[in-house]
């Protein structure tokens, strides 16, 4: 975890011309770097640099700085193992067989991303936002950060600061876990705020179904004794991702009207 964070720090410290080799607007570009504080959204400015890489089923990663690619590959592999084990427990918590989610979501070819964000010191944090309010696509997201706070989650309409213990993994439940479990697990709404004292670096690793998997509520959770109708319509994971990566909130779009 420490090596991964240090590798990200070294990447962001590369000369801008080297980082801009990965710049691009195509959301399906395997490795993408972005920067800017010039986008105005609801009176707030984005204040972050980011690096996104698609790391499974095919591994893509920057080859600079030295050793970053190898560290990233090892970190992503271990993160995937952790998420897979957590999903086994979630399957059992729903009264399903341990491998249910793994099989239903075709996780052997599951879609995994590596996303690292740099939030520099901001002279006017009240005018900026690191990341606006959102939920993640996929099933689960593992998150780590340096010791600088900034993550907030929404609960009962209020924003709460998340102050994780050192050397811990944070786990966000995401949209497709909510869809698959028919609302039993909720997708966590969260955001990142900035400060005028210290730079924050975070690494998020979302993991979801294979791109071609059509995700809908598990039949076992909408039939029988539960007598609970399906709350979400089916949608292919790739189609859902295209909407969310373009900044379009999607969970409400697949929510079925209440009878």
H helical segments located in the chain: 2-12, 16-19, 68-93, 100-104, 175-180, 237-245
Query: How much is the average pLDDT of 144-153?
Result: 94
Please report whether residue 259 resides in a domain. no
Q: What is the pLDDT of residue 44?
A: 52
pLDDT for residue 38 = 46
What is the total count of domains within the chain?
A: 1
pLDDT at residue 39 is higher than 60: no
Over residues 162-173, the mean pLDDT reads 91
In this predicted structure, what is the pLDDT of residue 16? 93
Task: Report yes or no on 73 lying in a domain.
Answer: yes
Rounded Cα distance, 248 and 28, in Å: 16
pLDDT single digits (tens) 73-128:
999 999 999 999 999 999 999 999 999 999 999 999 999 999 999 999 998 888 88
Mapped to the 3 state alphabet, what secondary structure does 117-180 carry?
Answer: EEECCCCCHHHEECEEEECCCCCEEEEEECCCCCEEEEECCEEEECCCCCCCCEEEECHHHHHH
| 143 domain-assigned | yes
**Domain limits at 248?**
2-253
Cα→Cα distances 133→29, 46, 84, 98, Å? 24, 12, 27, 33
Q: How many CB atoms lie within 10 A of CB 103?
A: 11
* Predicted local distance difference test score (pLDDT) of residue 46: 78
The whole-chain average pLDDT of the chain stands at 91
Q: Flag whether 258 is in a domain.
A: no
Q: Take residue 128 and report the two structure tokens written for it.
A: 């900026």
What CATH number corresponds to the domain at position 77? 2.60.120.330
**pTM of the predicted model, to two decimals?**
0.92
């Amino acid at each position: 975890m420490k090596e991964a964070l240090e590798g990200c720090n070294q990447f962001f410290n590369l000369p801008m011309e080297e980082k801009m080799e990965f710049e691009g607007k195509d959301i399906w570009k395997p490795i993408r770097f972005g920067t800017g504080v010039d986008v105005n959204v609801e009176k707030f400015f984005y204040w972050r640099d980011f690096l996104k890489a698609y790391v499974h089923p095919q591994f893509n990663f920057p080859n600079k700085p030295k050793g970053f690619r190898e560290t990233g590959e090892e970190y992503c592999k271990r993160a995937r193992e952790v998420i897979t084990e957590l999903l086994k427990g979630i399957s059992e918590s729903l009264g399903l067989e341990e491998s249910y989610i793994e099989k239903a979501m075709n996780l052997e070819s599951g879609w995994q991303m590596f996303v690292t964000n740099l939030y520099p010191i901001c002279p006017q944090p009240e005018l900026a936002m690191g990341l606006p309010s959102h939920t993640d696509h996929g099933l689960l997201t593992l998150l780590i950060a340096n010791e600088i706070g900034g993550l907030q989650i929404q609960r009962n309409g209020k924003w709460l600061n998340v102050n994780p213990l050192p050397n811990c993994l944070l786990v966000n439940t995401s949209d497709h876990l909510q869809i698959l479990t028919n609302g039993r697990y909720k997708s966590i709404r969260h955001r990142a705020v900035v400060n005028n004292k210290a730079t924050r670096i975070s690494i998020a690793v979302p993991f979801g179904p294979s791109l071609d998997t059509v995700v809908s509520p598990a039949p076992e959770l909408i039939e029988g004794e539960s007598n609970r109708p399906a709350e979400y319509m089916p949608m292919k994971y790739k189609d859902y991702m295209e909407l969310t990566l373009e900044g379009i909130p999607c969970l409400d779009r697949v929510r079925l009207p209440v009878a």
